[in-house]
Amino acid sequence: MPFTFKAYHEPFLGGGALFFATPLSVPARLSDVNSDLVKTYRIVKNRLKDLILILQELAKGHGERQYYEIRERFNRNKGLGVETAAWFI
């Protein structure tokens, strides 16, 4: 990866490993074919505190049973509000 560049374009964001390793002083355009992932990143950007509270509650019941319950809820509700973004994570 070059040390300097004018802008950063990421066509397949995924976990964002390269993006998060770039200087934040350059403009960035992030995208991914997975719309749930893109919506979740928007929730992280705009509603982080709300998301963290939900994730903390989910962590209390973490386990196989909860995983399958959350997966079922996520697959039925694709609205991707804060709660659905937490389920995606």
Question: Do 47 and 71 share a domain, yes or no?
Answer: yes
Question: Do 63 and 79 share a domain, yes or no?
Answer: yes
Question: Containing domain of residue 9, as a range?
Answer: 1-33
Question: Do 16 and 26 share a domain, yes or no?
Answer: yes
How many independent structural domains does the chain possess? 2
CB atoms within 10 A of CB 30: 14
Question: Do 50 and 60 share a domain, yes or no?
Answer: yes
CA nearest to 85, candidates 30, 77, 14: 77
Question: Do 14 and 38 share a domain, yes or no?
Answer: no
Its pTM stands at 0.77
Q: Which residue has the higher pLDDT, 86 or 77?
A: 86
Question: Do 50 and 82 share a domain, yes or no?
Answer: yes
Question: Do 29 and 60 share a domain, yes or no?
Answer: no
CB 10, CB 29: distance < 8 Å: yes
Question: Do 75 and 85 share a domain, yes or no?
Answer: yes
* Residue-wise pLDDT tens digits, 26-72: 888 889 999 899 899 999 999 999 999 999 999 999 999 999 999 99
DSSP 18-52: HHHTS-TTS-EEE--S-HHHHHHHHHHHH-HHHHH
DSSP code for 10: E
